[in-house]
Amino acid sequence: MSTKKLRRAGEYVIEKLLTVSGAVTGLTMLTITVFLFKEGAGLFRSPSVEKGYALYVHAENPVERLSVNEIKGIFDGEITVWNALSSDYPHAEIVPYRIEDIFQRYSESELGEDYALLPDKLAEVIRETSGIIAFLPQQYAPTGMTGVKTLPSQDIRPADFFGGTSWMPTATPAPLFGVLPLILGTLFVSIVAILIALPLGLSVAIFLSELAGTRTRKWMKPAIELLAGIPSVVYGFFGLVVLVPLVQRAFALPVGETAFTGSLILAIMALPTIITVAEDAMRNTPRELREASLALGAGHWQTIRKVIIPYASSGISAAVVLGIGRAIGETMAVLMVTGNAAVMPHSLFESVRTIPATIAAELGEAPAGGAHYQALFVLGCVLFLLTLLISVSAEWMAGKQSSKIL
């Protein structure tokens, strides 16, 4: 076989391998995305009350349905009378009741062998207490007994999930999956990090590409690229030991684990990516464009601002997207320096919790297939959509800028 035929055969094999590799990669990404959304969709078919339990009231109680927040308020002692929920309800005291309370009234012998009489005793307690609301396992439920009414449990609603302000996935009797604090915490930390990292990163990229000498560029560029390979947990330790006390002292805060501290550590982590990609894009500007600009009388800074940066706008936008993706998706460093508090943030100097940190901290403890487990997958879907939205926006802006240049 001639050398030409061997070369063609090799090219054909390489082409097919690349095609198969691309198809496998695309199929894998599609499978992961479908799995992510499929697991998360099950959350909105889960009952708002803890699985395997139900709420029971006196048969004459006119209440028909309670929201998750109303249930929380009742069992937390914030709502103490039925009339506070609706004027149609009686002005009677609410008596929250749990399964363990039955053992204070009856001995184990009175409950029978293997608690066979437990449903009867629970029904007796409910009949005797008009204002009671009992949170009981369905295994021992007094279902169908006179004087007892079961409150229907509605499914978790998307409005409660995306509009809720409390993230308490292990609360009983009704877990709270309000994702708004996590979304705001993620946006607070990520946006401020990019606002810090982007001008610094572009400034360093311009310096390396257009101003630095050959010797300076030779040692500075590898050093910056080396920073991108440092593990996240090392950045987290640096932030915990150095940045947290620094922020606490500088702003006279009770604690230094704040959203601002997380933004600083993320900005440091995003800088190597932004600098490297943006500098490569600027260095790839054709020499002819630079010389033409200078020949027309433009100065060095005018050439950088009017020619090089617009020409490299696509690469710069890619650097921004990669930097934002690093910021939004970061887990360990943020988990260590932001205080990890799932509360509504009102300023940058409060503790927050981000979506990636929540998934990392809770996924190992969430029972597989349960509402908590599914809620974490929905958080993954939200994170995916946030990243996709930012990437599409950056590409759109880059395309718009390129059309202006042309």
pLDDT confidence of residue 2:
67
CATH of the domain at 186: 1.10.3720.10
Residues 131 and 207 in one domain: no
pLDDT confidence of residue 249:
92
**Residue 224 maps to a domain:** yes
Order across the sheet with 95-98: list the strands: 95-98, 132-137, 53-58, 148-151
**DSSP assignment, residue 173?**
S
Return the percentage of the chain with pLDDT > 70, whole number: 97
**Residue 307 maps to a domain:** yes
Residues 213 and 345 in one domain: yes
134: part of which helix (H) or strand (E)? strand 132-137
pLDDT confidence of residue 108:
84
**Residue 26 maps to a domain:** no
**Residue 334 maps to a domain:** yes
Q: What is the mean pLDDT of the chain?
A: 85
Residues 104 and 195 in one domain: no
Dist CA 339 CA 253 (whole Å): 13
**Residue 91 maps to a domain:** yes
* Residue numbers of the domain that contains 104: 53-154
**Residue 215 maps to a domain:** yes
pLDDT confidence of residue 214:
81
The two tokens of residue 301 are 């800074």
DSSP 179-207: -HHHHHHHHHHHHHHHHHHHHHHHHHHHI
Name the more confident of 261 and 221. 261
Calculate mean pLDDT across residues 128-135.
90
Q: Examine the pLDDT at 288 and tell me if it is beyond 90.
A: no
Q: Examine the pLDDT at 359 and tell me if it is beyond 70.
A: yes
Q: Examine the pLDDT at 401 and tell me if it is beyond 70.
A: no
Contact between residue 31 and residue 137 where contact means Cβ atoms under 8 Å apart:
no
Minimum mean pLDDT among 16-30, 172-186, 315-329: which range? Answer: 315-329
Residues 381 and 340 in one domain: yes
**Residue 234 maps to a domain:** yes
Return the percentage of the chain with pLDDT > 90, whole number: 17
The angle that helices 180-206 and 355-362 make with each other, rounded to 10 degrees, is: 120
Residues 277 and 365 in one domain: yes
**What b-and-e string marks burial along 92-107, b requiring 16 or more CB atoms within 10 Å of the CB?**
eebbbbeeeebeeebe
pLDDT confidence of residue 282:
85
Rg over CA atoms, the chain: 30
pTM for the complete prediction? Answer: 0.83
**Final residue before a domain boundary, out of 111, 139, 154:** 154
Minimum mean pLDDT among 68-72, 87-91, 116-120, 178-182: which range? Answer: 87-91
Residue 54 φ/ψ, nearest 5 degrees: -150, 165
DSSP 37-60: HHHHHGGGGSBSSPTTEEEEEETT
Dist CA 70 CA 272 (whole Å): 49
pLDDT band at 400; cut points 50, 70, 90: low
**Final residue before a domain boundary, out of 86, 119, 154:** 154
Q: Give the range with max mean pLDDT: 145-149, 378-382, 393-397.
A: 378-382
Distances 45 to 38, 149, 154, 294, 384 between C-alpha atoms, Å: 12, 23, 9, 65, 22
**Residue 319 maps to a domain:** yes
DSSP 314-339: HHHHHHHHHHHHHHHH--HHHHHHSB
Minimum mean pLDDT among 68-72, 81-85, 303-307, 389-393: which range? Answer: 389-393
pLDDT confidence of residue 295:
81
Dist CA 381 CA 388 (whole Å): 10
Q: Examine the pLDDT at 148 and tell me if it is beyond 80.
A: yes
Dist CA 218 CA 208 (whole Å): 10
Calculate mean pLDDT across residues 140-149.
82
Residues 258 and 316 in one domain: yes
Calculate mean pLDDT across residues 338-349.
88
pLDDT confidence of residue 181:
92
Residues 208 and 143 in one domain: no
Residues 111 and 246 in one domain: no
pLDDT confidence of residue 1:
54
Residues 189 and 319 in one domain: yes
pLDDT confidence of residue 378:
92
Calculate mean pLDDT across residues 312-319.
80
Residues 194 and 240 in one domain: yes
Q: How many domains does the chain have?
A: 2
Calculate mean pLDDT across residues 73-79.
89
Residues 130 and 57 in one domain: yes
Minimum mean pLDDT among 89-103, 132-146, 261-275, 291-305: which range? Answer: 291-305
pLDDT band at 377; cut points 50, 70, 90: very high
Question: Per residue in 42-65, pLDDT tens?
Answer: 888 888 888 888 999 988 888 888
Q: Examine the pLDDT at 402 and tell me if it is beyond 70.
A: no
Residues 192 and 101 in one domain: no
CATH of the domain at 91: 3.40.190.10
**Final residue before a domain boundary, out of 154, 171, 191:** 154
